[in-house]
Amino acid sequence: MNKKYDFVIIGSGLGGLVSALILAKEGKSVCVLEKNRQYGGNLQTFVRDKTIFDTGVHYIGGLDKGQNLYKYFSYLGIMDKLRLKKLNEDGFDLITFDDDENVYPHAQGYDNFVKQLSEYFPDELENIKAYCKNINYTCDSFPFYNLRSGAGYQDQVLSINAKEYIDSVTENEKLKAVLAGSNVLYVGIPDKTPLYVHSLSVNSYIQSAWRCINGGSQITKQLIRQLKKYNGEVYNYQEVVNFETDENRINAVVTKNGKRIEGDTFISNIEPKTTLKMVGEKHFRKAYFNRIQNLEVLPSAFSLYLVLKPESFPYLNHNYYHFKDSSRVWLAHEYTPESWPEAYMISMNISEENQQWAESLTAITYMHFDEVKQWEHTHNTVSEIEERGEAYDRFKKEKTEIFLKEIEKKFPGIKDKIQSIHTSTPLSYRDYIGGYKGNLYGYVKDSNNPMKTFISPKTKLDNLYLTGQSINMHGILGVTIGAVVTCSEILGKEYLIEKINKELEEQA
């Protein structure tokens, strides 16, 4: 790190790594700085009781040949290196409710999606078809989503509200709940979440849905391998604590251990609120700085990671989205201490393709940062261990018991099949992933005022750009596209899209 780089990327989350690789493929000198031991942000995995768990990547969509993430990953040179297992085609996600014994499937392929759901709602066939048609139309309105250049129809779709749209599709209350049933994927807020957030979140999974064998960190490893192939450099344990600025430019960043890294251009994969504070309020228009700082963040999560006894629980090749009350699908994040948890998602990690028995299970539910606020001054990671104390351990134990009691209703007897239990709270997500207040999906997007929650990848500083889940969309596909959007601001939109498509044609 004793030279000046064309690009210095702060943070090795997916957005940072994809941005770095795109620029390195252009012949630029690139350096990626990561504060933690492990690279990858939400792609990180960890091992408990000799079992691999994913931090944030529980399944991926759009990876069948010719689909959008397949194309992006092929351009990045990692698609054929990934170990994947396709989820159940007749129900990759299953939506369930306490007050209903039915198990409602979200199936892969739009025709199959319609077929499987219409078996439960035979009178709603045309309405389900209309829903699917509009999801496709909405996704088609975003050029980068389909590797096209052009403006698309974004102005028309940004202000359509997701809940209002789904409510307009049908009068059947249960079908409304089922169509919105995977909204834990993006934390659906009834009066704010735009339809495009719902559409972009569910569409790629309906196209095709996959688990990563032995975890999503393989994506990180392959991206870094490709990055090094193009002479890119990555360094861990390098926490950036200061940006050196000169008028309207950044000259260098300084790390916690005193290293100074110079660059021509800087891309921050740190979340925007923190980035702007680190650079300094004086470098931005007051209205812009305040708008970003006042953006509402989505809730965080409390997660259980269960290591199961050998050959005690069959592997389930789908995910569960469960709600206590079908009328509160859009309101489950507004829980009370007495009603928590109102909803949860259950997913299984997989270590081999034809797996008969589950080795582990991950259960995720909403949790607000306020519940752990009394310990917010503590920071605990592998590289910097700091105990949070007995009260925190007691809090986690109490929440674990409550959550397990709900899971036991769905899977009777599962407690007797657990070998060990591990947890994550909003503090864990904050410390390891860097989300403001531990949020998993960035900032609230508001259909009532779309531009208020829009964050451009280009800042007012001449050589500072932003990337990550808050810039475009969260999720593997959303962040990958967001990195392409960031790099297109630097390289040119038309140029980059043409370059990607040309390379894909040559690969075919």
User: What are the tens digits of pLDDT across the range 389-422?
Assistant: 999 999 999 999 999 999 999 999 999 999 999 9
- Measuring CA to CA, which residue among 315, 299, 105 is closest to residue 209? 105
Element (H, E) at 499: helix 493-507
Percent of the chain at pLDDT exceeding 70? 99
- Measuring CA to CA, which residue among 98, 187, 63 is closest to residue 445? 187
Q: Reply yes or no on whether the pLDDT at 383 is more than 80.
A: no
Percent of the chain at pLDDT exceeding 90? 89
Give the model's pLDDT for residue 384. 81
What SS3 class is residue 300?
A: strand
> Residue 471 — very low, low, confident or very high, per pLDDT cuts 50/70/90?
confident
The dihedral built from the CA positions of residue 312, 397, 43 and 66, taken in this order, carries a sign that is positive
Strands (E), 72-170: 84-86, 93-97, 100-106
Stretch 444-455: mean pLDDT: 92
For residues 22 and 496, give the distance between their C-alpha atoms in angstroms, rounded to a whole number.
Answer: 9
Q: What DSSP designation does 299 have?
A: P
Give the model's pLDDT for residue 3. 87
Say how many CA atoms lie within 13 Å of 50 toward its Cβ.
Answer: 4
Stretch 138-162: mean pLDDT: 83
> Residue 99 — very low, low, confident or very high, per pLDDT cuts 50/70/90?
confident
Give ∠ CA 431-461-499 in degrees, rounded to 5: 85
Give the model's pLDDT for residue 148. 86
| Burial (Cβ within 10 Å: 0-12, 13-18, ≥19) of residue 12 | buried
The residue written with tokens 């940006």 in the block is 243
The answer to whether residues 181 and 106 touch, using CB atoms and an 8 Å cutoff, is yes
Element (H, E) at 410: helix 390-410
For residues 12 and 19, give the distance between their C-alpha atoms in angstroms, rounded to a whole number.
Answer: 10
Q: What DSSP designation does 309 have?
A: P
CA 53 to chain centre: 16
Give the model's pLDDT for residue 116. 98
Q: Identify the weakest region by mean pLDDT among 151-160, 286-295, 312-321, 416-425.
A: 151-160
Stretch 110-137: mean pLDDT: 98
**pLDDT tens-digit readout, 3-35:** 899 999 999 999 999 999 999 999 999 999 999
Stretch 229-236: mean pLDDT: 97
Give the model's pLDDT for residue 155. 66
Mean pLDDT, all residues of the chain: 95
Which pair of tokens denotes residue 206?
């309906």
What SS3 class is residue 477?
A: helix
> Residue 151 — very low, low, confident or very high, per pLDDT cuts 50/70/90?
low
> Residue 1 — very low, low, confident or very high, per pLDDT cuts 50/70/90?
confident
**pLDDT tens-digit readout, 318-372:** 999 999 999 999 999 999 999 999 999 999 999 998 899 999 999 999 999 999 9
Radius of gyration of the chain (CA): 22
Give the model's pLDDT for residue 160. 95
The answer to whether residues 317 and 446 touch, using CB atoms and an 8 Å cutoff, is no
Give the model's pLDDT for residue 472. 84
For residues 15 and 342, give the distance between their C-alpha atoms in angstroms, rounded to a whole number.
Answer: 32
The answer to whether residues 443 and 297 touch, using CB atoms and an 8 Å cutoff, is yes
The dihedral built from the CA positions of residue 187, 188, 192 and 198, taken in this order, carries a sign that is positive
Q: Reply yes or no on whether the pLDDT at 159 is more than 90.
A: yes
For residues 404 and 408, give the distance between their C-alpha atoms in angstroms, rounded to a whole number.
Answer: 6
The residue written with tokens 């605990």 in the block is 380
Give the model's pLDDT for residue 435. 86
Element (H, E) at 266: strand 260-268
Which pair of tokens denotes residue 182?
């995977």
Which pair of tokens denotes residue 498?
């043409």
Query: Residues 6 or more apart from 149 whose CB is under 8 A from it?
Result: 143, 493, 494, 497, 498
Stretch 256-268: mean pLDDT: 96
